[in-house]
Amino acid sequence: MNDRTLTPFIVAPGLSGGGAAGHAARDALRGAVVAIGNFDGVHRGHRAAIDTACARARALRRPAAVLTFEPHPRAFLKPQAPLFRLSEPSGKLRLLARTGLDGAIVLDFDAHLATLTAEAFVADILVGAFAVSGAVIGRNFLFGSNRTGTPDYLIAQGALRGFAVDIVPPFTLDGRMVSSGAIRTALEQGDLPTATAMLGAPWFVTGEVIHGDKRGRDLGYPTANIRLAPDCALRHGIYAVRIGIDGAWHAGVASFGRRPTFDNGAALLEIHLFDFAGDLYGRPLDIAFIGYIRDELKFDSIETLIAQMDRDSAEARAILDRQPEAVPLLAAPGEITAAI
């Protein structure tokens, strides 16, 4: 970090809003070196750009931040095409807060921003609103209306307007480019090793425990139930998981799917925590997916189902024992000062 390390992690509104707190947050990050992008999942490619921004910020003795967008531009521009997000806004910020950054600038991706020219993006936002001392983007990043802002254009603008520009090459792993799209595909296929390797840590979701039909309790496997986002395309099946509760991680096994043995209803995440007792209704949980065990199946009898659940639990314990340190690196919500 640098001499202007800001604690806790600061989240600044992009151009307006947030009142006095918003102005203070923007002032704190004014002059920052910014890594620009969507950062969905905060994967290893994103972290390469973030590391570059942090290094440049240290050299310039400035804050390091990301400049990101909500909602995801694709969700705004193509609302008819559901986007399987790897990290919801709060989860993205919690991941970013553990990367060495001082803060995040979150721009509202709306009709105004969608039609802003590349020149206006540089002049009005990078220079006018935040007086950035540096900008970091990936080689494939395009910005401005009709995606006319190219890396070469940003380099020229930086030279003209007095801020440094770093272009980060694509990050590859075993010859394959790391991208949010590749990680989505891996999760859709139940390929957790690839998703975890590209992310640099297990993929996770956060959700509030809701009331279910209490069937798991009758089967000897009480569950905490969470309804995931409708666009979640994680492969239906049984997973070894770790569950974060108030900053502590607990072992468990989870089923994500439609419960074909019973009702074949809407997709639901059902989590059974090992060696845990307590009321979790209404509480937020972080669920980290460590290993894929099997596909969701329909059973002919309750006895057969319970026998399989016993085997699944034993396998989940074995998977978790083999990966004792596998958890996402997340900031607690209280460590983030949000002015949006």
Query: Is the pLDDT score of 209 beyond 80?
Result: yes
Point out which residues pair with 251 in neighbouring strands.
Answer: 242
Residue 327, pLDDT score: 98
Residue 258 class from Cβ within 10 Å (0-12 exposed, 13-18 middle, 19+ buried)?
A: middle
Residue 165, pLDDT score: 98
Residue positions annotated with a catalytic role: 270
Percent of the chain with pLDDT over 70: 97
Q: pLDDT tens, 35-86?
A: 999 999 999 999 999 999 999 999 999 999 999 999 999 999 999 998 999 9
Q: pLDDT tens, 106-149?
A: 999 999 999 999 999 999 999 999 999 999 999 999 999 999 99
Kind and range of the H or E run holding 164: strand 164-168
Instruction: Give all strands (DSSP E) within 227-283, no chain letters.
Output: 237-245, 248-257, 268-273
CA distance 214 to 202: 29
Q: Count how many Cα atoms sit within 13 Å of the Cα of residue 9 in the half-sphere of its side chain.
A: 23
Strands 237-245 and 268-273: unpaired
Distance set, CA 64 to CA 52, 215, 313 (Å): 10, 49, 44
Q: pLDDT tens, 262-284?
A: 887 899 999 999 999 889 999 99
Q: Which of 120, 103, 108 is nearest to 27 (CA)?
A: 103
Please tell me the pTM assigned to this model.
0.94
CA distance 312 to 316: 6
CA distance 55 to 37: 18
Contact between 331 and 98 under an 8 Å Cβ cutoff? The reply is: yes
Query: Is the pLDDT score of 218 beyond 90?
Result: no
Residue 7, pLDDT score: 55
Kind and range of the H or E run holding 227: none
CA distance 10 to 296: 42
Query: Is the pLDDT score of 331 beyond 50?
Result: yes
Q: Which of 128, 118, 116 is nearest to 150 (CA)?
A: 118
